[in-house]
């Protein structure tokens, strides 16, 4: 990576720019994935239920989805250096609020902590699409696959490091030390960024922020909120059905407005590009496979194989490491042979992983399931980031930020919906089997068979979409 010129005409090191950018994103990603290990401690400290403590993850995801569509406007209207440091600083302030939360406040203290968590989520939601847009903008088209492969390695490594880092910190220190660790690291990155490693590399096209569109985008929170409730019992469906209807109408209005105003918050006209549409669906389908593995497989390990939560968590690490190792290879492969062959390899791996997992479910073999998870996550390396790169290559440079924001938002929403549907299928399949007279273990296996069969079907749809891709050679992508 050579020296490059920023928007002010000054030379900067692309290597150190990308390094600083990815280290910040990496730390934020760990904070997103590592918190579940602290749930039992938090439930005890704040005297709250499991349903309440899970809002630290669910609420985080909801706020992320609303802040993601704002990222293109911020990239166009703010200096990137200011935006990056501002997002990191907001994350730090949120972490500080969590650290300062008094445990003796009980449930009120928990909701104070949630405000800090929401601030972290807003920063992450803005930064995740932005860092991808920046990497795609400063990298020539024929090298984008390799660069995004490195980005995928960093994000994949976070999946592996998250439970390890949190496990080590929580073994020797209190749960607040986990957030203190994130705060210290982010503060160091802010110092690095402020020293000149992060430069203003994005062209600015200033415009007014459409506040009505921002307000309407909150409909995403309503939709995801109701979707996440679907697997729970004793739900007031009259109230939540009304929330869902209002939220869907808000999103329909949001989409109509984006397509009919001169300066939209999110340029949805990118969806008129055929390859881009397929890229959105492919990255979402591969993400569903990845996130369902991280949620459903541990349930199988603990509920059927009867392993400890620690063993269950560590069983996810080989797949995450394999994903990290393959990401750079997938990027180079996409640059060399094109995106379509690369993504076909990935979809075939994902289908094979889910199919074999379906066949070996009844054998109740931990090693076999770990290997299946590795194949599924390895396949994801050949689909998710290459799909993002292909989507960006299908658009003019001025629409790349909008394109990555759309892909990231849709991926987040569909990933959440995929987990919710998988959980519903598992719950209903198991309970129906129990009602027919099956024993507990057999009923559980029946539920997992239904989930895994559903995932095979979804990924076959992904393979069909990959076969429909056009202009897949790197010269034309």
Determine the average pLDDT of the residues in 155-168: 69
Burial of 272 (0-12, 13-18, 19+ CB in 10 A): exposed
pLDDT at residue 9 above 80?
A: no
Q: Which domains does the chain have, with CATH numbers?
A: 9-200 (1.20.1250.20), 210-264 (no CATH), 267-477 (1.20.1250.20)
Q: Given this model, what pLDDT does residue 474 score?
A: 43
**Tokens 């989930």, located at residue:** 451
How much of the chain is in helix, strand and coil states, percent to nearest 5?
80, 0, 15
Residues 242-260 have a mean pLDDT of 91
Q: Is 282 helix (H, G, I), strand (E, B) or coil?
A: helix
The predicted pLDDT at position 348 comes to 95
Q: Is the pLDDT of residue 388 over 60?
A: yes
Identify the band that residue 163 occupies on the pLDDT scale cut at 50, 70 and 90: low
Position 160 confidence tier, pLDDT thresholds 50, 70, 90: low
Model confidence pLDDT, tens digit, residues 345-369 = 999 999 999 999 999 998 889 999 9
Region 368-373 average pLDDT? 93
pLDDT of residue 205: 73
**pLDDT band (50, 70, 90) for residue 477:** very low
Please check the confidence at residue 320 and state whether its pLDDT lies above 50: yes
Tens of pLDDT, residue by residue over 229-248, are 765 667 778 888 899 999 99
Q: In this predicted model, what pLDDT tens digit does every residue of 414-423 receive, in sequence order?
A: 887 787 788 8
Distance CA 33, CA 291 (A): 11
- pLDDT value of position 1: 45
| Cα→Cα distances 20→13, 148, 161, 200, 321, Å | 11, 15, 18, 14, 22
Q: 175 falls in which pLDDT band (50, 70, 90)?
A: confident
The whole-number pLDDT of residue 3 equals 53
Q: Where are the alpha helices (H) located in 100-174, listed in sequence order?
A: 107-138, 144-172
């Amino acid at each position: 990576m050579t020296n490059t010129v920023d928007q002010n005409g000054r030379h900067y090191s692309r290597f150190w720019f990308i390094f600083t950018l990815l280290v910040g994103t990496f730390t934020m990603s760990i904070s997103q994935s590592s918190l579940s290990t602290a749930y039992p401690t938090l439930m005890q400290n704040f005297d709250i239920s499991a349903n309440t403590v899970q809002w630290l993850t669910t609420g985080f995801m909801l706020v992320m989805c609303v802040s993601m569509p704002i990222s293109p406007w911020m990239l166009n209207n703010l200096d990137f250096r200011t935006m990056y440091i501002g997002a990191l600083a907001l994350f730090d302030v949120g972490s500080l609020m969590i650290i300062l939360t008094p445990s003796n406040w009980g449930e009120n203290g928990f909701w104070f902590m949630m405000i800090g968590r929401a601030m972290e989520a807003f920063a992450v939601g803005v930064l995740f699409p932005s860092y991808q847009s920046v990497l795609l903008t400063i990298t020539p088209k024929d090298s984008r696959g390799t660069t995004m492969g490195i980005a995928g390695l960093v994000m994949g490594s976070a999946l592996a490091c998250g439970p390890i880092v949190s496990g080590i910190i929580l073994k020797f220190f209190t749960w607040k030390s986990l957030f203190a660790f994130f705060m210290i690291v982010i503060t160091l990155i802010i110092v690095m960024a402020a020293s000149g490693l992060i430069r203003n590399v994005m062209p600015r096209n200033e415009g007014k922020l459409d506040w009505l569109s921002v307000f309407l985008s909150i409909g995403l929170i309503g939709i995801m909120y109701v979707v996440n409730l679907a697997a729970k019992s004793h739900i007031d469906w009259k109230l939540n059905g009304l929330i869902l209807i209002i939220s869907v109408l808000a999103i329909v209005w949001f989409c109509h407005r984006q397509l009919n105003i001169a300066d939209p918050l999110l340029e949805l006209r990118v969806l008129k590009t055929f390859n881009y549409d397929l890229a959105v669906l492919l990255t979402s389908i591969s993400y569903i496979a990845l996130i369902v593995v991280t949620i459903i497989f541990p349930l199988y390990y603990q509920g059927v194989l009867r392993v400890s939560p620690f063993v269950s968590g560590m069983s996810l690490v080989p797949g995450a490491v394999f994903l990290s190792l393959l990401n750079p290879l997938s990027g180079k492969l996409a640059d060399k042979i094109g995106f379509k062959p690369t993504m076909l390899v990935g979809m075939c791996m994902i289908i094979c992983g889910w199919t074999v997992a379906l066949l070996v479910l009844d054998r109740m073999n931990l090693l076999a399931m770990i290997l299946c998870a590795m194949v599924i996550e390895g396949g994801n390396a050949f689909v998710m980031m290459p799909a993002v790169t292909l989507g960006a290559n299908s658009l003019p440079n001025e629409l790349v930020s909008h394109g990555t924001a759309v892909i990231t938002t849709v991926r987040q929403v569909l990933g959440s919906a995929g987990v919710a549907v998988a959980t519903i299928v598992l719950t209903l399949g198991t309970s129906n089997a129990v009602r027919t007279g099956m024993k507990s273990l057999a009923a559980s296996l029946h539920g997992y068979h239904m989930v895994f069969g559903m995932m095979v079907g979804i990924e076959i749809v992904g393979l069909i979409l990959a076969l429909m891709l056009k202009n897949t050679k790197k010269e034309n992508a």
